[in-house]
Amino acid sequence: AQSVTQLGSHVSVSEGALVLLRCNYSSSVPPYLFWYVQYPNQGLQLLLKYTSAATLVKGINGFEAEFKKSETSFHLTKPSAHMSDAAEYFCAVSPMNRDDKIIFGKGTRLHILP
C-alpha cells in the first residue's frame, strides 16, 4: 500500500524567498509521484509529475521537484516566491507497475508574505 506525508499544513514565505514544500512517500513498489495545486476558488490542477524519466522534474509556474529514492522524498521548490503562488499544494502517489489508485497527502497551504 502506498501513502503520502506532507510536512506542515501551513507554510509562510516572503515574496521573493525560496519555496520548499515537503513530501515523503511510502510505496512497496516504485512510484509515480505528483504535485497538484489548488488556487483559491479554483479546481485542482496538475503542477508536475515524476514518471522515472528524470529525477528532477520541472512543472508550471517555475516550480520543480526532485525525486530522491534514498530519502523517499519528492519535495517541491521554487527559487523565488510570487504573490500568485498562494494556494494549497497536494502531493500524490500511485504505484508504477500497475494501474492502481492515486493517493493524496493532506495538503500544504502556502502563504506569501509581502
Among 46, 54, 60, 113, binds other proteins (CB under 8 A): 46
Among 40, 56, 83, 99, binds other proteins (CB under 8 A): 99
Q: What is the CA radius of gyration of the chain?
A: 14
Per the CB < 8 A criterion, the answer to whether 47 and 63 are in contact is yes
State CA 44 to chain mean position distance: 12
**Dihedral over alpha carbons 20, 66, 74, 100 (to 10 degrees):** 140
Using the rule CB under 8 A, is 28 a contact of other proteins?
A: no
Q: At residue 10, what is the residue type?
A: H
Which residue stretch of 15-23, 68-76, 78-86, 88-96 sits at the interface with other proteins (rule: CB under 8 A)?
88-96
Of 83 and 101, which has the nearer Cβ to other proteins?
101
Using the rule CB under 8 A, is 23 a contact of other proteins?
A: no
Cell of 72: 523517499
**Dihedral over alpha carbons 81, 85, 87, 92 (to 10 degrees):** -80
Which residue stretch of 11-19, 20-28, 45-53, 71-79 sits at the interface with other proteins (rule: CB under 8 A)?
45-53
Q: Residue numbers of the site for other proteins (CB under 8 A)?
A: 6, 9, 32, 34, 36, 43-46, 49, 51, 90, 92, 94-96, 98-107
